[in-house]
Amino acid sequence: MRSSRAYRRFVKNRAAIVSIFFLALIALAGLFAELIAPYSYEVQNIDRVLEGPSKDHWFGTDSLGRDLYSRIIFGARMSMAVGILTAIVSVVIGGIYGAVSGWLGGWVDTLMMRAIDILDAIPSLVLLILVGIVFTSYQPFENPEIRALTGILFALSIVGWVSLARLVRGQVLQARELLFVEGATAMGASPARILTRHIAPNILGPVVVMLTFQIPANILFESFLSFVGLGLQPPFSSWGVLANDGWRAKSSPHLIVFPGIALFLTMLAFNLFGDGLRDALDPKT
């Protein structure tokens, strides 16, 4: 009943609907990058470097003659993968941590929350850089792309799960007091069953809303790390790598403008989608 009303409210929000279609488009483009991109992300053509947009190269070429349009599509794959995978990891870790902390309560809860406070006291950028460096110095993977990607995933997940853990804990604390949970406990349901069957569906809304804001934040962090040279490195493509290329090539504006637009539109779509979702689920705001 409530969810269908929320659904109707959401559908009426045109900006949110357009956003979700745009995001689906970007995700599909990234998923099927090989089929859509006219060129490979690493093929160079030294005869045609730093060209502006043309019929052959819609977004122009970079300093090594690589097709920018294709690189942006392959970059979408990387950015989306990072955003979504880190969100999943954060939900799993943060969800379990928050649920355990909120369910057990007492000194365990206090201790677990203090640990989170400490992680929170390190600015996320500093933490990202520290964790990224620790991870890369162990280098558990041979493949450089996987190595860079897992490093970023690891760093972003460590930063991202904290706020989810807090959210889930708060919601579990509230939900524990609800009558139907008390009823389930009285009927002898195990804590795990109560958490997954009775509490989880109730706190899904706020978690999803938080995710729609965390995914773009993660995409931005990935771009940031790649931009400063701690994330992916060329020839691999991500929007941060491309922005870095564009910033270095100061006289070719298309190299920063197109990746910039891709990043901007994606961030905008996620934010509008998240706003729409939040308003639909919680009409007070």
Partner 1 sequence: MRSGLLVFALKRVLEAVTTLFVIASLTFLLLRILPGGPFDSEKALPDEIKANIEARYGLDQPVLVQYGQYLKGLVTGDWGESYKYIGRSVTDIISETLPVSAELGLYSLLLSLIIGIPLGVIAASKHNTAFDTTAMLIAISGVALPSFVVGPVLVMIFSFGIPFSFLHGTLPPALWDGWEYMILPVLTLGLRPAAIYARMTRGTVLEAIRQDYVRTARAKGVPERTVLFHHVLRNSLIPVLTITGPLFAGLLSGSFIIEVIFAIPGIGKHLVSSVSNRDYPLVLGLTLLYSTLLVVSNLVVDILYSFVDPRIRVEK
Q: Which residues bind partner 1 (CB under 8 A)?
A: 117-118, 121-123, 125-126, 129-130, 133-134, 137-138, 216, 220, 223-224, 227-230, 240, 243-244, 246-247, 250-251, 253, 256-257, 259-260, 263-265, 267-268, 271-272, 275, 285
Least distance (Å) between residue 19 CB and partner 1: 11
Least distance (Å) between residue 199 CB and partner 1: 23
**Contact (CB, 8 A) for 56 and 39:** no
Nearer to partner 1, 185 or 271 (CB): 271
Three-state DSSP string of the chain: CHHHHHHHHHHHCHHHHHHHHHHHHHHHHHHCHHHHCCCCCCCCCCCCCCCCCCCCCCCCECCCCCEHHHHHHHHHHHHHHHHHHHHHHHHHHHHHHHHHHHHHCHHHHHHHHHHHHHHHCCCHHHHHHHHHHHHHHHCCCCCHHHHHHHHHHHHHHHHHHHHHHHHHHHHHHHHHCCHHHHHHHHCCCCHHHHHHHHHHHHHHHHHHHHHHHHHHHHHHHHHHHHHCCCCCCCCCCCHHHHHHHHHHCCCCCHHHHHHHHHHHHHHHHHHHHHHHHHHHHCCCC
Least distance (Å) between residue 73 CB and partner 1: 18
Least distance (Å) between residue 193 CB and partner 1: 32
Nearer to partner 1, 45 or 136 (CB): 136
Nearer to partner 1, 74 or 227 (CB): 227
Least distance (Å) between residue 190 CB and partner 1: 32
Nearer to partner 1, 33 or 230 (CB): 230
Quote the crossing angle between the two packed helices 124-138 and 144-176, to the nearest 10°: 130
Nearer to partner 1, 62 or 275 (CB): 275
Nearer to partner 1, 120 or 189 (CB): 120
Least distance (Å) between residue 28 CB and partner 1: 21
Nearer to partner 1, 78 or 220 (CB): 220
Least distance (Å) between residue 122 CB and partner 1: 5
* CA dist., res. 269 & res. 13, Å (int): 13
